[in-house]
Amino acid sequence: MKKTVVLYPGLAVSHFVPMMQLADALLEEGYAVTVALIDATLEWDTAFAAAVDRVAASKPSVTFHTLPRIQDPPTITKDVQLLLGYFELKKRYNKHLRELLCSMPSRSIHAVIVDSLSNQALDVTEELGIPAYSFFTSGASVLAAFLQLPSVRTKGQPSFKELGDATLNFHGAPPMPASHLIREMLEDPKSEIYKAMTDSLSKNLEAHGILVNTFRSLEARAVGALTDPQLLRGSELTMSPVYCVGPLAEGPAETKEKHECLAWLDEQPEHSVVLLCFGSLGIGNHSEVQLKEIAVGLERSGHRFLWVVRAPLGDNLDRNLDALLPEGFLERTNGRGLLLKLWAPQVDVLRHRATGAFVTHCGWNSVLEGIMAGVPMLCWPLYAEQKMNKVFMVEEFAVGVEVVGWQQGLVKAEEVEAKVRLVLDSEEGEKLRARVTAHKEAASMAWKNGGSSRAAFGRFLLDAGPRDRLSICKISAMRIPAHCIAAASLVEAGIGAPGRRSMWGKKTFVLYPSLGVGHLIPMVELAKHLLRHGHGALIAVVDPPDADAASAAAVARLAAANPAVAFRLLPAPPSPDAAAHPVKRAHDTLQFANPALRDLLRSLLPAAVDALLLDMFCVDALDVAAELGVPAYFFFASAAGDLAVFLNLPYLYPAVPSFRDMGRALVRCPGMPPIRALDMPLTMQDKESDPTKVRMYQFKRIPEGRGVLVNSFDWLEPRALKALQDDVCVPGRPTPRVYCIGPLVNAGKTGDSSERHECLAWLDAQPERSVVFLCFGSKGAFSAAQLQEIAHGLESSGHRFLWAVRSPPEEEGQFPEPDLERLLPAGFLDRRRDRGMVVKNWVPQAEVVQHEAVGAFVTHCGWNSALEAIMSGLPMICWPLYAEQGLNKVFMVEEMKIAVELQGYEEFVKAEELEAKVRLVMETEEGKVLQERLVVAREKALEATKEGGSSEVAFAQFLRDLEKKSSYGNGECCIATDQGV
């Protein structure tokens, strides 16, 4: 007998339709689905009855059971008291719901899923011992805000209505005016409706978990907050697990007859039509005055439009539209505008190629439908939580712009015109479309195999069913605290249930990067490597108090690009000393984050974490690992040569002067080539400074780990690996076990894409190996004088070039985008238009270096950039700027022989020097030798990562060593190569 999941939807289209999409997902997984319906229709919402009939007819595999009518049902009014009658109605239907559940075969019910506003049913499921889950049909940001309202407004404080437009601050969501809350929460806190609403919101936490109609990458910050123990601080409530299973939105209509509006859209140009549609409820109707303002604004904009018109409140559309709209409007816009009464197939319209913008009331279903269609939105909230959604759409997701006139009760024609033009005509509109497209791609990935929502849904099914009733009763009785629940990203990764193995069936790793996106990106590549080998990976990211470190927005972008990787945003630790050096502040922040990391690991133990993989700067996490008995390894994302030097420095530096005083004098680390003191990292130039002391402390603790995974490969760095193997780097103790498992780099996009960056199309038109690519990382900004010098050098070289330019450091705050005409020599862009391309700020580097037109790479020597060039067989011109890049330059030029050095990089590179080095690489015999060396390096890199290659063998050895928990402890060291240990 199939297991059955019982669905108990709400009495509104916006709540019913997503739950029916959930029914489809359950059917696909082989479950039977029964939908329990109430025989009650709100007279003013006839759309709901029509939706039920339509869905029931389209889903013959789903059992729809209508519960018997109750006598004298409560009145549900169309005002602020609406939910009082609604809650009473649902409560009185508990008796009939209980009868239905008891009538079903014993032990056949896998779970009951109730709408979040129908949670009175949780009393029934609790009584019967049936696993029950709440289905929250809006987003995670709204849920996080709702759950914090009791702590945001404490007893005795002014009501939210009295606060007016005062700003409310939420963990995991942007601040918003109090006036944007749902109308029930703007009532007197002593009123019946206010108390009923707060009780309803908190009752959802009595469920075994909450399914949310969103996807992780869209609302990463809110999802992180929902797993944070600080979310419900000061409350007696405990958080339930959260499963992000969206987007659950209605697909295109499956009808034989094509709606007239779709035929009209077929005749319109791509992205040329504005859709205006404001939901299914009569609450969304506009006044006659407002309808006229909309009409005038649309006409003045000059753009095509498709407008779904509803009658003004208390009116109907039986009379002619001419009476509601400006005189002659229909005739004047005939051909470029189409008006529909009451309804249009919104999903089909949004997904039509002709639709270019969407004026929406910000209902969550509409938001998801707009995102899934990749259509930028104009936000015009009307009722329910739509004002809150507007804030998230504009401030957090960046998928819409606000139509601000709604706050004064009338949106003027001038604003309609201006906002339509902004989205369809301006550069800002293009950026908006690009962001929505990125979310669209992430949404499409979420429900694919390996996607975050599919993984979360699978985890819910595992957690829900009666594996045995005793275990369910125990879980319910324990009410595990919020900080011990691996909800959201943990659930989505298949990690987190005590005693349960990962969904991948092999090992589970928690990855812990340092602060900053530059440290997070290599960890993502490591996570992808682990996933490719069938293991589970969770990246735990500290939510830092400093705005310049890795932010939730950055996590969201990476999550969108890597849907199979699970992320957990740890709560922000206390702020360190504001006056301290940034290196010291970052170190202290990571140290203060130890309790949050400890809580996370405890929630996964005893059997769900096989190892903790640490960034080189997260050394104090060793204490947490030791306390919990978790094997700890370091992931060193730079070169093995850097590792050898760093391990030796705590012992070498006390015996020599500060590097800044040594200048060009050579520093000699055992087994390594001589290195000029000025090539040592800038943060270590003064041996008495706080940042140097922090770094020495960190480097000295690295050997306490069980080993180090290095993003390199044996052939590339034999001298460094020999030094590490010969135990000459760390005096008096063994060097940590080293596993070269690289190169782990972003492979770039594959296959054709309609959203390719413009620079790639430009490269397509250039001859093979003819272009010099200049790109200097996310912090690679030069002075205006240096930019001018680079331009002169490129022009004098005569070679084609692709150059990523950032504003000078002193201008970045004022000018996020560089003013190229002002910064570059007069006429330079015009003179080099056919042979050069200058791009502002960012290019898709991984794709550019792989392009056949690129023949040389002027790089800052970041290790990830060096590996990407090696994997593309691309010769490099070294211009190190910061961090360990000076060291990398030494190894790349002198040891690996894959690059040449630009003289003068320490202060100022002359145009003549850049011209000479470009010509050397692109024209000379020495350049040909360099090219041949890179071809060999690429072949060796590919060999290393193939089955039986040195990096694959080292990774296998790492896994075998991990099993030897009784043989080796943290700090006992050896080295793994392709010959093993």
Task: Write down the mean pLDDT value for the chain.
Answer: 86
Instruction: Please enumerate in sequence order all residues whose Cβ is within 8 A of that of 943, keeping only pairs 6 or more positions apart, or say none.
Output: 715, 949, 950
Average pLDDT estimate for 549-561: 58
State what percent of residues in the chain have pLDDT above 70: 88
For residues 467 and 643, which has the higher predicted lDDT (pLDDT)? 643
Instruction: Give dist(CA 202, CA 77) in Å, integer.
Output: 24
Return the pLDDT at 749: 55
Instruction: Give dist(CA 250, CA 247) in Å, integer.
Output: 9
Nearest to 443 by CA among 369, 525, 364, 391: 369
The DSSP-derived string for 95-137 is: HHHHHHHHHSPTT-EEEEEEETT-GGGHHHHHHHT--EEEEE-
For residues 139 and 550, which has the higher predicted lDDT (pLDDT)? 139
Instruction: Give dist(CA 791, CA 858) in Å, integer.
Output: 13
Q: Picking from 3-17, 182-196, 275-289, which range would have the lowest pLDDT averaged per residue?
A: 275-289
Q: Please, are residues 741 and 711 in contact by the beta-carbon 8 Å criterion?
A: yes
Return the pLDDT at 490: 41
Q: Please, are residues 410 and 422 in contact by the beta-carbon 8 Å criterion?
A: no
| Residue 891 DSSP class | I
State what percent of residues in the chain have pLDDT above 90: 63
> Does residue 495 surpass a pLDDT of 80?
no
Confidence of residue 360 (pLDDT cuts 50, 70, 90): very high
pLDDT digits (tens, 9 = 90+) for 708-738: 999 999 999 999 999 998 888 998 888 889 9
Nearest to 417 by CA among 373, 359, 350, 371: 359
CA 817 to chain CA mean position, Å:
24
Q: Is the peptide bond before 606 cis (omega within 30 degrees of 0)?
A: yes
Strands 800-805 and 771-775: parallel
Return the pLDDT at 45: 55
pLDDT digits (tens, 9 = 90+) for 507-516: 899 999 998 7
| Burial category of 911 from C-beta neighbours within 10 Å (exposed 0-12, middle 13-18, buried 19 and up) | middle
Instruction: Give dist(CA 229, CA 222) in Å, integer.
Output: 13
Q: Is 3 left (phi over 0), alpha (psi -120 to 50) or beta?
A: beta
Buried/exposed code over 593-632 (b: 16+ C-beta within 10 A; e: otherwise)? bbebbbbbbbbbeeebbbbbbbbbbbbbbbbbbeebebbb
Instruction: Give dist(CA 346, CA 325) in Å, integer.
Output: 23
Dihedral over alpha carbons 113, 115, 121, 122 (to 10 degrees): 60
Average pLDDT estimate for 947-953: 89
Instruction: Give dist(CA 894, CA 382) in Å, integer.
Output: 66
> Does residue 703 surpass a pLDDT of 90?
yes
The DSSP-derived string for 177-200 is: EGGGS-GGGGS-TTSHHHHHHHHH
What is the SS3 assignment for 524?
helix
Instruction: Give dist(CA 26, CA 7) in Å, integer.
Output: 11
> Does residue 529 surpass a pLDDT of 70?
yes
Strands 167-170 and 377-379: unpaired
Q: Please, are residues 511 and 527 in contact by the beta-carbon 8 Å criterion?
A: yes
Strands lying side by side in the sheet with 109-115 = 63-67, 32-38, 4-8, 109-115, 132-136, 209-212, 242-244
Count helices and strands in the chain by DSSP H and E runs: 39, 30
Instruction: Give dist(CA 132, CA 110) in Å, integer.
Output: 9
The DSSP-derived string for 788-840 is: HHHHHHHHHHT-EEEEEE---GGGTTT-SS--HHHHSPTTHHHHTTTTEEEEE
The DSSP-derived string for 553-614 is: HHHHHHHHH-TTSEEEEEPP-----TTS-HHHHHHHHHHHTHHHHHHHHHHHTTTS-SEEEE
Return the pLDDT at 732: 83
Confidence of residue 447 (pLDDT cuts 50, 70, 90): confident
| Residue 686 DSSP class | S
Confidence of residue 342 (pLDDT cuts 50, 70, 90): confident
Return the pLDDT at 631: 95
Confidence of residue 750 (pLDDT cuts 50, 70, 90): very low
Which own/partner contact pairs does 591-597 have at CB distance under 8 Å and 24+ positions apart? Answer: 591/620, 593/542, 594/620, 594/621, 594/623, 594/624, 596/542, 596/570, 596/571, 597/512, 597/540, 597/570, 597/621, 597/624
> Does residue 46 surpass a pLDDT of 50?
yes
User: 92 φ, ψ to 5°?
Assistant: -70, -20
pLDDT digits (tens, 9 = 90+) for 467-487: 333 222 222 222 222 322 233
Domains annotated for the chain, with CATH where assigned, are 260-443 (3.40.50.2000), 508-740 (3.40.50.2000), 758-943 (3.40.50.2000)
Confidence of residue 58 (pLDDT cuts 50, 70, 90): confident
Secondary-structure breakdown of the chain: helix, strand, coil percentages, each rounded to the nearest 5: 45, 15, 40
Q: Please, are residues 107 and 1 in contact by the beta-carbon 8 Å criterion?
A: no
| Burial category of 952 from C-beta neighbours within 10 Å (exposed 0-12, middle 13-18, buried 19 and up) | middle
What is the SS3 assignment for 82?
helix
Nearest to 443 by CA among 358, 352, 372: 372
Look up residue 130 and give its amino acid: I
Instruction: Give dist(CA 760, CA 702) in Å, integer.
Output: 41
> Does residue 489 surpass a pLDDT of 70?
no
Q: Picking from 118-132, 222-236, 664-678, 964-978, which range would have the lowest pLDDT averaged per residue?
A: 964-978
> Does residue 637 surpass a pLDDT of 90?
yes
Q: Which helix (H) or strand (E) holds 632?
A: strand 632-636
Work out the angle at residue 209's Cα, subtended by the Cα atoms of residues 207 and 212, and round it to the nearest 5 degrees. 115
> Does residue 494 surpass a pLDDT of 60?
no
Return the pLDDT at 228: 79
What is each CA distance from 220 to 226, 254, 265, 278, 483, in whole angstroms? 10, 33, 35, 27, 17
Instruction: Give dist(CA 894, CA 673) in Å, integer.
Output: 8
Q: Picking from 169-178, 224-233, 422-431, 662-671, which range would have the lowest pLDDT averaged per residue?
A: 224-233
For residues 576 and 979, which has the higher predicted lDDT (pLDDT)? 576
pLDDT digits (tens, 9 = 90+) for 183-218: 999 999 999 999 999 999 999 999 999 999 999 889
Return the pLDDT at 502: 38
Return the pLDDT at 977: 40
What is each CA distance from 484 to 512, 595, 599, in whole angstroms? 18, 12, 7
| pTM: predicted TM-score of the whole model, two decimal places | 0.55
- Cβ neighbours around 314 below 10 Å, total: 8
pLDDT digits (tens, 9 = 90+) for 575-612: 888 889 999 999 999 999 999 999 999 988 766 789 99
Structure tokens at 964: 């030897």
For residues 494 and 317, which has the higher predicted lDDT (pLDDT)? 317
- Cβ neighbours around 658 below 10 Å, total: 16
Instruction: Please enumerate in sequence order all residues whose Cβ is within 8 A of that of 462, keeping only pairs 6 or more positions apart, or say none.
Output: 497
Buried/exposed code over 229-254 (b: 16+ C-beta within 10 A; e: otherwise)? bebbeeeebbbbbbbbbbbbbbeeee
User: 238 φ, ψ to 5°?
Assistant: -120, 145
User: 449 φ, ψ to 5°?
Assistant: -55, 130
Return the pLDDT at 966: 34
Strands 508-512 and 355-360: unpaired
Q: Which helix (H) or strand (E) holds 470?
A: helix 469-478
pLDDT digits (tens, 9 = 90+) for 897-917: 999 999 999 999 999 999 999
What is the SS3 assignment for 622?
helix
Return the pLDDT at 970: 55
Q: Which helix (H) or strand (E) holds 145?
A: helix 140-152
Confidence of residue 775 (pLDDT cuts 50, 70, 90): very high
Buried/exposed code over 137-169 (b: 16+ C-beta within 10 A; e: otherwise)? bbbbbbbbbbbbbbebbeeeeebbbebeeeebe
Instruction: Please enumerate in sequence order all residues whose Cβ is within 8 A of that of 137, keeping only pairs 6 or more positions apart, or say none.
Output: 10, 14, 15, 18, 19, 115, 116, 213, 364, 365
Q: Is the peptide bond before 743 cis (omega within 30 degrees of 0)?
A: yes
Strands 4-8 and 109-115: parallel
